[in-house]
Structure 1
Amino acid sequence: MKIAIALFVKNEAQDIAGWIAWHLALGADRLFIYDDHSTDGTWEILQAAASLYDIELARTHPEKTPDFYWRQADCYKDACRKATGHYDWIGCLDGDEYVSLERDENLGAFFSKFADYNGVGLSWRIYGSGTRVLKSRRPAYEAYTFHCTPDMGDCELGKAFIRPEDYTYEYETPHRLFLKNERYADALGRPLEWRGSIHDTLWEGACINHYILRSMENYVDRIRRRINSDLSDSTDYWNYFNRNDIYAPERKEFIERAGTIMTTIHIACANHYLQRLTHHGFATPTTSNAARLYRIQTHAQIPLVLDHPEGHVTQSSDADTDATQTLTGAVYAEDSQHIHLFVEQYGHISPTPFRLRHDGRFRCSLDYLLVPSSTKNRWHLRREDGGKYIAFPPPEAGNVVDANRDTAAEWEECSLIEKSVETPLLLASPHNVKNRHEFFEFLRQNAGRLTYDDFVLALAALPDGCRNDVSRSSEGRIISWI
């Protein structure tokens, strides 16, 4: 059972890799992706992903087909033609639509149940912002976990998967594709009755998660792009679709599979960027790690963790704490005065930013000076540019961690417990990276010996303005989402 998915997309640099990773994790055999001349890095990211996975890319022709509606229709028709004779099923989706499987192991297992049908209609399940104001750096399937109730009328819309050889190539809307000898089923394998482009809402078995709003920041960007077409300068659209009635996180096994794929795409994008600047890709070293990795414990022997991804550093002795939220510290042999704090995920530094109270930075890694304490084998962590120390008040104060102390005493002490793991691999310390010029110089001086994780730490070391300048350049668009 071979499954293809077609995607029509424009300017989704922050989310496109997540969309790809999710559907590959679900078992899609091929992705046909049509880019509507993105200008934000989407096309460059797609090219990097296509070098790794079974993805066929094409760009639209606005000069030939000025109307967005017909450009989208032409892309879906083209994908169905290409899928005919090669794939058993094909679905046509947008960039904010993600297939969700309730219990099947993969898409092939789900569609194997529909031998007597040539179409399956899947309902929308509309997700709200989850009270988010700012954009999330996590993929939509992780960041947004609250959706509407099934009585929301828009959920009667959705998307269809069809047997491509039965497509008639008549096109009215992207929600229903017309078939020869049409036999549509719902997600539970029962005959589906269409009412135009809608049908009864059903989420059991499978559905389409529609992340139509995401955060308020995403919504504002959407208004700016579409204010002269189908949206107005109003919160009406937001108020209607921002439904956060039911908590329903996606299946952990799919998130894990997608996360591994996302990491691979991250590395490919960063490697492409590095090659363009230095003509060298990331090193594949045979040497051992040039940095020591530590778990940080407070003076009370409590480890440091994140209270949630994209959250704050806190103290926690809870044995059930998610290992992917435990803070790691890296100290390079060539720069033993600094420690870089981050979270490890899928064998690499997680690119998801986090916060430390009173620090002011929101990055995937925070660097501090290591200052020896008067107590043996204890250290203080001090901000290099501000001089403030990190403090670890007693747990009864709320497990907080603060970066606002002018002097260091017992509450500011911590221990470094060396870890036995060999990942992430770090070879070149970015301790001198403080601006855009130094970032480029770091990349060039270490060409041929940099690892992906060295690159992530160097990018994180840049002030926000410098990092934005790097990612807005023509070369940097491919790493704008990292």
Structure 2
Amino acid sequence: MNSSLPSVAIALFVKNEFSDIAGWIAWHMAFGVKTLFIFEDHSSDGTWEIIQAAARCYDIRAVRTDPVAQPDFYLRQRDSFLAAAAECRGKYDWLGFLDGDEYLYLRHTSSLPQFLAGIPSDAAAIAFSWRIYGSSDKVVRPRVTAVEAFTQHSRAELGDNELVKSFVRPERMGQTYLNPHVFDVPGEDYVRPNGERVEHLVPVQPVDWSDAFVMHFICRSMEHYIQRIKRRMNSDLSDSQGEWRRFDHNDLTDSEPLRLLPAVHNALLPIYRAMVEDAITTLRQTAPLERHAGEVKAEIEKPRMVRVRSHLETYLYFAPATQEIVNATMGEADTHGLLPVFGAMFPSTPDMVTFFLPGHAGRNLKFAEDDRVSDQPIYRLYRLESGDTALMNPMNGLFACFIPSKEEEGYGRVEVNRHKINGWEQMKLEVVHGLDYPESRFTLPFSPNMRTESREILQWLVAAPVPPTVNAFLCMMYEVAPSVREEVSRRIPGLLFPFL
């Protein structure tokens, strides 16, 4: 990043956002935010643990609030925002104030520092309009980021869109706390995203979505909203559907913010890896089991390296232009600069294949219609009596389908959305020699299957001389019954939600 660009921090006050906090962090980091000051209000769902994992990947200053010393929710938020402003004076050029369901979006750039460099130098604060998003008719909490799950929003005429959220130059902010929407800066120094001055320093401003706005996912799924009511009942929400009907507007669909997803997913990758690593560490430290007299013997197992050959006589490749795994002939791959994708199969989890892109660790490998974020996606092999095989997403049971190439593209898609196996879903595995898998992996002391109990998994984790790798752990978890996955996950709330 250009060192002459302004430095940016965001202050976040958050509670019980386990399913979305990692995506929120990745979204703003992908926009070029330097530091996040996160004030965590004693969540009970794993939010704090996910923030701790993310803090190993990015510059995140996380503290927990003190509800005993300050029992009032809004005063705790006030104290947190003022503390962030004090910390940022003289260290950061800009400080934003957001909640966990608010995502800043810039329409004409992918860089927040670049956007802020264009703000008049005499402006001390920017007021961004809300854009309130509805549920997109979702009832159950999605496992993808809020931006890709909820793409439908209200019309500008919805009155609540007139509320704003602010980014402020911290050294020009006074000591008085006004509210979470506007801050102690002279009104004549407050501007809108287009640089125009605000007429009055109030939280309600004319709606302006032309250059930038704050995506406010106030509803999200019905499951999200029920949790929100439970958390804030008798403060600003009540046990009724009134607020849901007020905000659940799905009038317009906007896919423009999805342009940032490749960058956001790449920013998510290290957080997700850290979450699984922390889950493994916590389970090893807290499982209520005694160690065996002898530890599990650490024997490194060698994987069988394979390539997928589809019914079309094509292979798997990564297409940089679309950021997806596709199928193509070797000639098409050479013509269009496609990168070969390989699979690793380990003896202790013989029904699982881990795909990877040699030399490109840290790049999200995505099949079309598979919403998981991973640089080494795992698939189950579904074997047919004919000797052919199909690839199945172990999270939802859907099969991969190999679509013939289109002449104008030069390769075909691989869509993971089929409920049945027909001709286009069938493929074979070809062994590849002379290729190494980038991670060492130790043999499991048991053969995971649908009869495996959580006790066996926990005992293995406690007794293992070294922690298993992320993919070894996930491969094992995909082999066992869903009820066992839930038993293990309950010991580490939130950390494994995107994966199981």
| Residue 273 (structure 2) aligns with | 267
Gaps of 5+ in 1: 280-286, 306-314, 320-327, 356-363
Indicate how the Cα distance of structure 1 residues 348 and 260 shifts in structure 2: closer, same or farther if over 3 A, else same: closer
Gaps of 5+ in 2: 1-5, 286-299, 318-325, 333-340, 372-376, 405-414
Indicate how the Cα distance of structure 1 residues 20 and 292 shifts in structure 2: closer, same or farther if over 3 A, else same: same
Decide whether the 8 Å contact of 1:135 with 1:218 is kept in 2.
Answer: yes
Amino acid at match of 2:114: A
| Residue 490 (structure 2) aligns with | 472
* Equivalent in 453, 468, 475 of residue 471 of structure 2: 453
| Residue 34 (structure 1) aligns with | 39
Aligned residue for 1:133, secondary structure, equals: coil
Aligned residue for 2:161, secondary structure, equals: helix
Amino acid at match of 1:108: P
Amino acid at match of 1:334: P
| Residue 310 (structure 2) aligns with | 297
Whole-Å Cα distance in 2 between the matches of residues 394 and 352 of structure 1? 11
Indicate how the Cα distance of structure 1 residues 412 and 445 shifts in structure 2: closer, same or farther if over 3 A, else same: farther
* Equivalent in 383, 391, 395 of residue 370 of structure 1: 383
1:230: how far off?
A: 2.6
1:76: how far off?
A: 0.5
Is 2:28 aligned against 1:23?
Answer: yes
Is 2:422 aligned against 1:416?
Answer: no
How big is each residue's C-alpha offset from its partner over 1:227-270, in whole Å with a ceiling of 9 and x where there is no partner? 34332232222222122222222545632222122110111122
Whole-Å Cα distance in 2 between the matches of residues 438 and 134 of structure 1? 31
| Residue 172 (structure 2) aligns with | 166
Whole-Å Cα distance in 2 between the matches of residues 353 and 42 of structure 1? 27
Whole-Å Cα distance in 2 between the matches of residues 277 and 199 of structure 1? 49
| Residue 74 (structure 1) aligns with | 79
Aligned residue for 2:103, secondary structure, equals: strand
| Residue 48 (structure 2) aligns with | 43
Aligned residue for 1:292, secondary structure, equals: strand
Aligned residue for 1:160, secondary structure, equals: strand
How big is each residue's C-alpha offset from its partner over 1:96-141, in whole Å with a ceiling of 9 and x where there is no partner? 0011011123111111122121111000011112222211111112
Is 2:118 aligned against 1:109?
Answer: no
Q: CA RMSD in A?
A: 4.2
Decide whether the 8 Å contact of 2:307 with 2:315 is kept in 1.
Answer: no
1:304: how far off?
A: 10
Whole-Å Cα distance in 1 between the matches of residues 368 and 403 of structure 2? 28
Decide whether the 8 Å contact of 2:156 with 2:207 is kept in 1.
Answer: yes
Is 2:448 aligned against 1:432?
Answer: yes
1:12: how far off?
A: 0.9
1:187: how far off?
A: 0.5
| Residue 360 (structure 1) aligns with | none
The 5 Å alignment of 1:308-457 reads 330=343, 332-334=345-347, 338-340=351-353, 346-347=362-363, 367-368=380-381, 370=383, 373=386, 378-380=387-389, 401-403=418-420, 414-416=427-429, 427=441, 432-433=448-449, 434-444=452-462, 447-448=465-466, 450-457=468-475
Decide whether the 8 Å contact of 1:119 with 1:182 is kept in 2.
Answer: no
Whole-Å Cα distance in 1 between the matches of residues 152 and 272 of structure 2? 27
1:446: how far off?
A: 5.6
1:25: how far off?
A: 1.0
| Residue 192 (structure 1) aligns with | 198
Aligned residue for 2:62, secondary structure, equals: strand
Amino acid at match of 2:55: A
Is 2:114 aligned against 1:98?
Answer: no
Amino acid at match of 2:162: E
1:226: how far off?
A: 2.9
| Residue 65 (structure 1) aligns with | 70
| Residue 5 (structure 1) aligns with | 10
Indicate how the Cα distance of structure 1 residues 447 and 141 shifts in structure 2: closer, same or farther if over 3 A, else same: farther
Whole-Å Cα distance in 2 between the matches of residues 394 and 101 of structure 1? 35
Aligned residue for 2:260, secondary structure, equals: helix
TM-score by length of 1: 0.77
1:418: how far off?
A: 6.3
| Residue 320 (structure 2) aligns with | none
1:367: how far off?
A: 3.0
Whole-Å Cα distance in 1 between the matches of residues 313 and 173 of structure 2? 64
TM-score by length of 2: 0.75
| Residue 83 (structure 1) aligns with | 88
| Residue 282 (structure 1) aligns with | none
| Residue 359 (structure 1) aligns with | none
Indicate how the Cα distance of structure 1 residues 186 and 477 shifts in structure 2: closer, same or farther if over 3 A, else same: closer
Is 2:124 aligned against 1:118?
Answer: yes
Percent identity between the two aligned chains = 32
Aligned length: 438
* Equivalent in 204, 211, 215 of residue 210 of structure 2: 204
Decide whether the 8 Å contact of 1:118 with 1:184 is kept in 2.
Answer: yes
Aligned residue for 1:479, secondary structure, equals: coil
* Equivalent in 132, 143, 156 of residue 137 of structure 1: 143
